[in-house]
A and B are shown apart, each in its own frame.
Chain A
Amino acid sequence: GENVEQHPSTLSVQEGDSAVIKCTYSDSASNYFPWYKQELGKRPQLIIDIRSNVGEKKDQRIAVTLNKTAKHFSLHITETQPEDSAVYFCAALNTGTASKLTFGTGTRLQVTL
């Protein structure tokens, strides 16, 4: 089955700096890669996703890049703000087989003033 590794487990950045979270996956057939943000005591929320037919996707201050050859994808947050502080989870899925979404272990991002 799919295995997703996520690094780092914790990340502290100063407000205004950029943050990068990296994930690797094992199943080359995976073609859908979402990122979830979970604030303390809240549900995980889908913030951005990328499919295997594109290499990069941006939405305001967040972007995701995908390297299919190396089987890794990354979340980039620019101009970080205190409200970006949360736990971020990456995930991978092969939509063709309707297999389960496999989640990474999570990254706790702390944006300090």
Chain B
Amino acid sequence: SAVISQKPSRDICQRGTSLTIQCQVDSQVTMMFWYRQQPGQSLTLIATANQGSEATYESGFVIDKFPISRPNLTFSTLTVSNMSPEDSSIYLCSVGVTGTGELFFGEGSRLTVL
């Protein structure tokens, strides 16, 4: 499976600021996704990162709050904008294997908003 690197691994941020999380994959992948995992909770899909076009957001997530870039087939960023304490979560980049359904996760970025 692909090696998925995320940074930062963790950060503590002030309310009202924005943070950009980077995801780098060691091979070209078609399917990249961003998930959120709130403390003690399951995995919730934020959006599908589409190469060369706007991301596809799930219900409850909007581009103004979670802008996503996907400039090529190995890299994506997720920005958490105008953060509030409710945004404190782990944000996970993931890649899918086309046609199989298999999904692999990066190490995650643990975000704490004060």
Contact = CB atoms under 8 A, between A and B. Distances in A.
Interface residues of B, number: 19
B99 interface: yes
Interface residues of A, number: 17
B101 A32 contact: yes
A61 interface: no
A3 interface: no
Contact of B102 (A49, A100, A103, A106): A49
B interface, by DSSP: helix, strand, loop or mixed? loop
Contacts of B87: none
Interface of B: 33, 41-45, 48, 58, 92, 99-108
27 contacts: A34-B101, A34-B102, A34-B103, A42-B107, A43-B105, A43-B106, A43-B107, A43-B108, A44-B43, A45-B105, A46-B102, A46-B103, A49-B102, A89-B43, A93-B101, A95-B99, A100-B33, A100-B45, A100-B48, A100-B58, A101-B45, A101-B101, A101-B103, A103-B42, A104-B42, A105-B41, A106-B41
